[in-house]
Amino acid sequence: MKVLVMLWHEIYTDLFQELHDGIIVVGQKLPTEAVLSKRFSANRHTVRRALSQLRSDGLVHTKRGRGTIAVAPPLTYRIGRKTRFSTNLDSTASIAGISILHMLTRLSSKSEARILNFGKSEAIHYVEGLRLRDGRPLLHFTSIFPARRVEDLLIHLNDGLSITQALAASGIDDYERKQTRITARIASEKMAGHLEIYAGDPVLVVKSLNTLPDGTIIESGHSTMAGDRIALVVDGDRN
């Protein structure tokens, strides 16, 4: 048993070093379990244990029908008063942008009206999408906006602008984070499909409120992040 434990760790260490040194590059498919078993003179259970640890470390991703693929290490995202997603990421990030899944204008529900501080139900813009890194989903998000403050927001988003750019095109270029609430849960089947993970994998859920300088709420957001792809750092308020 002791030899077996040491063997899987040796396999893990060798593969970890190859990933770190760029011998196995991001997006490259790792050899199959059968090939690795032959290479390391180990059974598949031992190889599988090493791959499982690499997956837990966020260095590889296993997808049915595609095998095990090298991925970029988790990004660091700083949560502070400024809300711009791309500028809050660490300097190593390479973000391909966003993919809009669904957007529409509709009347707010009672709970949405309460969140946006409406006196009664009003029209809102609803946006659902994915943020991508190297073409791979990093997080799933939904946001609601008071339609009367940004009437043309969806038009600008449909033109391919980011949310920040679309808000600026709608006359909103100065806003900040008022509130952030972070929780952890396991991914549902639907969310797992969005993020290309397994149902039951850990995810981080971030709920936020963004306001204008006068305190008016301009956006209520809800983001679900794959737990092994992003690390959240909460910054103190800065003047």
How far apart (Å, rounded) are the C-alpha atoms in residues 39 and 156?
53
> Which of the four pLDDT bands, split at 50, 70 and 90, describes residue 6?
low
State whether 52 and 164 are in the same domain. Answer: no
- Domain's final residue, options 70, 94, 111: 70
> Which of the four pLDDT bands, split at 50, 70 and 90, describes residue 74?
low
Residue 220 located in a structural domain = yes
Residue 239 located in a structural domain = no
Q: What are the structure tokens assigned to 100, written together?
A: 């809009």
* Residue located via tokens 């595609």: 66
Query: Where is 168: in which H helix or E strand?
Result: helix 163-169
How far apart (Å, rounded) are the C-alpha atoms in residues 167 and 148?
13
Residue 169 located in a structural domain = yes
Mean of pLDDT values over 122-149? 92
Query: Where is 181: in which H helix or E strand?
Result: strand 176-186
- Which residue did the predictor score with more confidence, 146 or 79? 146
Say if residue 35's pLDDT is above 50.
yes
State whether 157 and 194 are in the same domain. Answer: yes
Mean of pLDDT values over 185-192? 94
> Which of the four pLDDT bands, split at 50, 70 and 90, describes residue 96?
low
- First vs last C-alpha separation in the chain: 57
Residue count (the chain)? 239
How far apart (Å, rounded) are the C-alpha atoms in residues 176 and 205?
19
Contact 231, 184 (CB under 8 A): no
> Which of the four pLDDT bands, split at 50, 70 and 90, describes residue 15?
very high
Say if residue 130's pLDDT is above 70.
yes
83-93 confidence digits (pLDDT tens): 555 555 544 44
pLDDT at res. 233 = 75
Mean of the per-residue pLDDT values for the chain? 85
State whether 58 and 109 are in the same domain. Answer: no
What sign does the dihedral 204-209-212-217 (CA atoms) show? positive
Residue 213 belongs to domain spanning: 75-234
